Structure 1
Amino acid sequence: MEAWEQQYKAILDEMEKHPALQDLAGGEPRPMVWYKQRLDSCRCGGGYPYFMYLKKGRSRKLLVFMIGGGLSFNEETARGPGTLKRILQGKAGFYTDEVQPGNERWFFRNPDNQGIFTLREDNVFADWNIAMVNYGTGDFHVGQNDFPYTDEDGRPQVLHHCGYVNFKACLARIREWFPHPDKLLIAGESAGAFAVPAVAGDIVEAYPDCAEITICSDSALLLSDRWPQIVREVWNAPEHIAQGVRTNNILVDFYRQLAGRLGDRARYLFCCGVGDVALTSFQNYFDTGVQAYTPEGAERMGRALTRQVEQLRALGVPFGFYIHPFKQPDGLTQHMTLAASTFIEGRVEGVSPMQWLNDAVNGRLYSVGCRLLPR
């Protein structure tokens, strides 16, 4: 048995002996316990079983969280799924195509993830109801298409871009578990951050009586003239989503469309690091065909971030920003903040991301760190 196989087996054994999530098999969730729920009508991009995560809190406040995990938009990216097995083998992955065991391990067993999902007393969101829409389809949660490709061994395969189908099934369950929230926060990281403005209208529509709505994207910026073609032809997103994608900035397009749909009914938030390492690497792939981080690429992404903030501000709806310089242990700019320890412990201008977000959901919308944006 190779070293990666031993490590993989040890991970699975540990997860089985010490489960971080309880299985919810049609029962009623107990407060302050994290569960996973299998949805038999759904599947991951690689055809694997699909689960969502949820926690019943001690309030009537609801967070619907869109999980991230890369993207796929052509045959080369489809050929590079990020299964835990492949990661342990040291192979690069463009997207998550399974949610178990990888996402469970990432969110509930990674000691660095001590953010919005933790039950720590100093987390002001600990008493919220939380439903996490899992991701494993490489399509920003908006796909309805099967994408055929040839794998690294020359075998025909299919990547199931069924993110929107999975999302709608999750939303139906969320509506059953949490029918009457008095506050609604729709948030997500990375690929899930792009999904937030794309699907937030559907979520808000499911809760027509909720007047307190906040929408937050954490770490999302990718530029490509191919976005309209990807969304329509590769992912086959539903028309009410696809019709808004018209420029090289898909996040701004999604927010422009959402602002036209919701207007001032919601508060809008965006959080990102200057020179985000993962976004820089993916942007380099769009630009050069090589998925790699470079300092020059990070500088370009910093300038692109400045431009994106300007575009979001210009949409004419209440928008707050949290721009940060948080670093990883290797010194590069951190990707994703909501689930990280810096959510509670990080500070920019004396304000943590948690305080900024909590103030926003309570009606105090403002921006932090915009002086860090390159001019």
Structure 2
Amino acid sequence: MLGVFGLVIALVVFVIFLLAKATVLKSFPELEGTPEIGKWYRITPAGTKSSDGSEWHGIFRKGNQNKVVVYFFGGGVSITGETSQGGTDFFATTMMAQDFVAQGGIGSTAEENPFKDWSFLVVPYASGDFHAGTGEYHYIKEGKDITVYHNGYNNYSSFIDKAKSYIGEPDTLLVTGFSAGGFATSLLADDVIGHFPAAKNITVCVDSSLLLYDGWHETAVDLWKAPQEISDRLVGNNLVLDSLTALHQKRGDKVKILFDCSYRDDTLLQYQAYINNGKMDNTKELGDQFQLDLKDMVESLQANIPGIGIYIWNLNADEQTHNTQHTIISSNFLDKLGNDKSICEWIYDAVNGNVQTFGLELLSEVV
């Protein structure tokens, strides 16, 4: 009887392993030679690394249209030495499960996804620096010198340089990202645009990225060691507002700018609580404050960037706190979220010259 039970357990474990390999542990093949249209690959440039020093790679899919999405992943942030030492308590430190994430949301091949035939240059996140760092943080633990690699900019730029050779010169460019990848989108959009000089139709979309912190400039300079042209833009406590404003001032109406966020983002407000009070929390009162902060941010974006598209949404609100889901383009991309358009339709309309705004009424809603 015990032998049969042991075989059943072994079979269950094996099935779980197979499911994991097909989902969270999925790993794309390394690109060698000519890429096949529609197939996902990893590209591993020399010298790139995750924050713990382990392997890092970019993710690539070649489309059959002369259009490209540069897509930054999220996964937390380090803003001080304390958070760098905290590692996985604050940010993704390895590439675990990121190949799997690439295939969802905007990266899906669903028939109704208008981006399904575009080329994708996906920038996974395992550096804690909003993809903007070139530095290292060192500390001593149990007598050992530990290095945290905030090398996000090095990873991103090496990957883009290598992947570009497979797609030529696209005429249409979408730069987007969620959470930490949304912050990266604002920080790096101008840099990305510089890699694709032939692209005349350019859209930049930031998904779910609002944190207020007076020390952004110092963090970018001293901890991440971001390139100066990136850190110099950070003059206030709102990194995305500063960066998108600078982008518009430089590029003008040649770049269409979009911003979306759930109106009481549960994850962002927890990080904001840590910034303000040194402890993550997610109370209704913190949601109320986030809602006010988001309203102020949207008004500032609209004042600084005439013609910006805004999409505010509500999904999976907690019954007690009313705090809402974090990020959308990697998951519920095709859902309408109470608005006339889905995030997918909203972005695609903007790409085609019709920039719209939805959901502002949520910012004044009393909960």
Q: Which residue of 1 aligns with 2:139?
A: 149
Q: Which residue of 2 aligns with 1:98?
A: 94
Kindly provide the CA deviation profile for residues 287-341 of structure 1, in whole angstroms up to 9, marking residues without a partner as x.
000022121111101100011111111123431011001116887411110011x
Q: Which residue of 2 aligns with 1:233?
A: 222
Separation of aligned partners in 2, 1:169 and 1:207: 15
Q: Which residue of 2 aligns with 1:75?
A: 81
| 1:278 equivalenced with 2:273 (yes/no) | no
Kindly provide the CA deviation profile for residues 103-139 of structure 1, in whole angstroms up to 9, marking residues without a partner as x.
234445xxxxx42111111212111111101111100
Separation of aligned partners in 1, 2:219 and 2:180: 14
Q: Find the partner of 1:337 among 328, 335, 341.
A: 328
Separation of aligned partners in 2, 1:9 and 1:252: 48
| 1:370 equivalenced with 2:360 (yes/no) | yes
Q: Which residue of 2 aligns with 1:213?
A: 202
| 1:48 equivalenced with 2:54 (yes/no) | yes
Give 2:91's aligned amino acid.
Answer: Y
Alpha carbons 2:183, 2:240 under 8 Å: kept: yes
* 1:154 to partner: Cα distance: 6.6
Residues 9 and 258 of structure 1: CA distance in aligned 2, closer, same or farther (over 3 Å): farther
Give 1:271's aligned amino acid.
Answer: D
| RMSD over aligned Cα atoms | 2.3
Separation of aligned partners in 2, 1:338 and 1:363: 20
Alpha carbons 1:338, 1:353 under 8 Å: kept: yes
Where do 4+ consecutive residues of structure 1 move more than 3 Å? 7-22, 105-108, 153-156, 328-332
* 1:25 to partner: Cα distance: 3.5
Residues 154 and 13 of structure 1: CA distance in aligned 2, closer, same or farther (over 3 Å): farther
Residues 142 and 17 of structure 1: CA distance in aligned 2, closer, same or farther (over 3 Å): closer
Q: Find the partner of 1:138 among 128, 141, 160.
A: 128
Alpha carbons 2:245, 2:305 under 8 Å: kept: no
| 1:349 equivalenced with 2:339 (yes/no) | yes
* 1:240 to partner: Cα distance: 0.5
Separation of aligned partners in 2, 1:292 and 1:250: 22
Q: Which residue of 1 aligns with 2:117?
A: 127
* 1:367 to partner: Cα distance: 0.4
Q: Which residue of 2 aligns with 1:172?
A: 161
Q: Which residue of 2 aligns with 1:263?
A: 252
Residues 105 and 209 of structure 1: CA distance in aligned 2, closer, same or farther (over 3 Å): closer
Alpha carbons 1:149, 1:157 under 8 Å: kept: yes
Residues 339 and 272 of structure 1: CA distance in aligned 2, closer, same or farther (over 3 Å): same
Residues 8 and 227 of structure 1: CA distance in aligned 2, closer, same or farther (over 3 Å): farther
Alpha carbons 1:185, 1:213 under 8 Å: kept: yes
Separation of aligned partners in 2, 1:208 and 1:289: 43
Separation of aligned partners in 2, 1:51 and 1:12: 23
**Matched pairs, number:** 351
Percentage of pairs with the same residue: 29
Separation of aligned partners in 1, 2:267 and 2:309: 23
Residues 232 and 323 of structure 1: CA distance in aligned 2, closer, same or farther (over 3 Å): same
Q: Which residue of 2 aligns with 1:314?
A: 303
Q: Which residue of 1 aligns with 2:32?
A: 26
Kindly provide the CA deviation profile for residues 185-233 of structure 1, in whole angstroms up to 9, marking residues without a partner as x.
0000001101112111111112222110000000000001111111111
Separation of aligned partners in 1, 2:166 and 2:293: 40
| 1:159 equivalenced with 2:148 (yes/no) | yes
Q: Which residue of 1 aligns with 2:237?
A: 248
Partner-residue secondary structure (3-state), 1:343 = coil
Separation of aligned partners in 1, 2:361 and 2:124: 34
* 1:246 to partner: Cα distance: 0.9
Q: Which residue of 2 aligns with 1:89?
A: none
Give 2:160's aligned amino acid.
Answer: L
Separation of aligned partners in 1, 2:31 and 2:116: 24
Any gaps of 5 or more consecutive residues in structure 1?
A: 1-6, 83-92, 109-113
Partner-residue secondary structure (3-state), 1:373 = helix
Alpha carbons 2:221, 2:231 under 8 Å: kept: yes
Separation of aligned partners in 2, 1:53 and 1:262: 28
Q: What TM-score does the superposition give when structure 2 sets the normalisation length?
A: 0.89
Q: Which residue of 2 aligns with 1:85?
A: none
Q: What TM-score does the superposition give when structure 1 sets the normalisation length?
A: 0.88
